[in-house]
A and B are shown apart, each in its own frame.
Chain A
Amino acid sequence: MFVAMRLVLVLLLVHLGVAARAAEPSTLRISVIPTSVLAPLYAALANGYFKDEGLNVELAPTAGGAIGIPGLVGGSYDIAFSNNVSALSAVAQGIDVQLLAPFPDGAADETAVIARKGEGIKTGRDLNGKVVAVNTNKNVIWLYVREWIRQTGGDLSKITFREVAFPQMLDALKQKQIDAAFEINVFVIAAGKDPALEIVSFPYREVQPQVQPSQFVATRKFIQGNKDKIDRFLRALNRGGEWFDANIGKDELFALVAGFTKLPVDVVRKMNFQPVAKKLELAELDKTMALMKREGLLKADVDTKAMIYTP
C-alpha cells in the first residue's frame, strides 16, 4: 500500500512537471525578468517576428535572476536571461553555457550608486567605515561597485557590504541602515526625484564603460541539438532590436515597456534607452573575468572565446 501511494505521488508530480515542461518542436521556453532591457525581446514577440520564424516563444517571467541558470540545467527553460558574472561562474563550475545575444547598451548610464544628500559621499574613499547595499553578494553589482570603490580610493576591508533587495534600498538609505546603495534604473529615477538623496556615481561607466552585463544564455548541449531553432530565435530577436532602435524616444516603445514591466508610463519616459549592442564583445567579457579573478570569484581563466555563440 505504501509503495502504491508513493508511486501515485511520484506519478502525479512527474505528470505535473512534464505536462508543464513538454515543449512542441518549435517552442522555446525563455526565463526572463520583466526589466526594460528586455524590450527587444518583447518587441519581437508583440510584432510577430518569432511567429514569422515559425517559433512559439513562451516567456517565463521570474522575480529574480537567481533561478535562470539552475532552471536551464534542470530543463525548465531552453534560454535564460542572465548576467556575465553568473555565466562565467557557471562555466568555471563545469556548467557549459554559452552567451547568445547582448541587450541594449545603457547599463552604464542607468545603474548608479545612491547616497543621502549632504553627507559628502562622492568617492569610494568617502565610504570607508560605511555600509554599502548590493542586491546579491559575489555577483555582478557587488563586483563592479567594489571595483569602483577601489579605483576611487576606498579601502574594501573597511567597508561592509549588505544584501538588500533593490526595492528596499532607498528606504534603508533614508532610515540610515545603510550609507550607499548600488541601484538599478527604476530606483535611480526615483532617487533622482527624492530631495533627500543624490546620485553619486555610475560605477559601470567609470569601471568598464562598454560592459555588457546582461545576456541570453543557453547550455551548449541544447544549442548543439537545436541550432536551427536558436538561429531563428536570434534572427527574430535581431528584428526586435531593430524595431527597438527605431523607436527610442517614441510612445510605441514607452507603451511596450510600460506594458510588460507594469511601470507607470511617466517613469518609463525618464529611462535612458540606448541602442542594442551589435554583438557580444569578447574583450568586455575578458575584463569581467579579470575582475572576478581579482575578487576571488574565479580561481583560473575560463575559455571566454568558447563561451560566445556564433551562428
Chain B
Amino acid sequence: MAAMLSIEELTHHFDGLCAVADFSLTVEPGELVGLIGPNGAGKTTIFNLITGVFRISQGRIFFEGQDITRWPSYRITAAGIARTFQNIRLFKDLSVLDNVRLGGFARHGYNIWQALLHSRGFRREEQAWLRQAYELLERFNLTRYADTVARHLPYGEQRRVEMARALISGPRLLLLDEPAAGMNDAESQALIQLIRDMQRDFGLTIILIEHQMRVVMDLCQRVKVLDFGMTIASGPPREVQHDPAVLEAYLGKDGALAE
C-alpha cells in the first residue's frame, strides 16, 4: 500500500533565509504524526508548502501516489488534504453555517447554470449539504451558533468551526496547526479526546503542529523535531524528548519539554 503522504527533500528559502532545509517525511494511512520545534523552526512553512500556499522550488510532495508539488491550493484541498490555521482564519463576516459549507465547496456538483436557474438538482444538492453542515455543527456543539457571524464567536468555538470546515471537505489527511494554542489544561484534555474521535470516525491521517507537549505525548505515535528549518530528531515522542539535540534546541525556552 502506498504511503498517504510522502515529502521528499523539501527546501524553502525566504529572501535568502533558509526556512526549511532538506525535509523529508512519509506518513502512512491512519498515522498521527507530530511536528514540533521552537518558534520559527519552519513548521507552519511546511504546512504552507504541502497545501500549495507557497510555491515549491526544491523537493517534491506526493499525496496518495499523485505528485501534487505544483498543484494550486484549492486542488490540493479538493484532493483530500484539509488544514486549520495557527491564528484562525475564518471568513469573519460570514455566518458559522456558511463558513462550514464553504469547506465543502469542491464537493458541490452543480454547475453555474443550475445555480442561476435554481434547478431541481441544485436544490436537492444544496439541501443535502445544508444537512451535512448541520450534522457537523451538531457534532462540534455549534448548532446554536449556526447563524452567528463568525467574528462574534468566542475563541474556542472559532477553533471548532475551523475543524468543522476542514472536515466537511472530506479529507483523508488533516493538518492541524497548533490546535491547543491558548487552551488551559481541561480544554486541551477535551481537545485530545476530540482529535482521537475525529480520527476514528472520519478515518483520518493527521499531522499535528503543537507546542503543548502533553497533547503531543498523548496523541502522536511519532514526532519530527525541527530547528531553524532542519530536522534534528525524529522518533516516538518519549525517545525524542531526551535527545540531546532536542534539549539544546529548546534550551532557554520555557522548558516546554521538561513538562
Query: Do A and B interact with each other, yes or no?
Result: no
A-binding residues in B (CB < 8 A): none
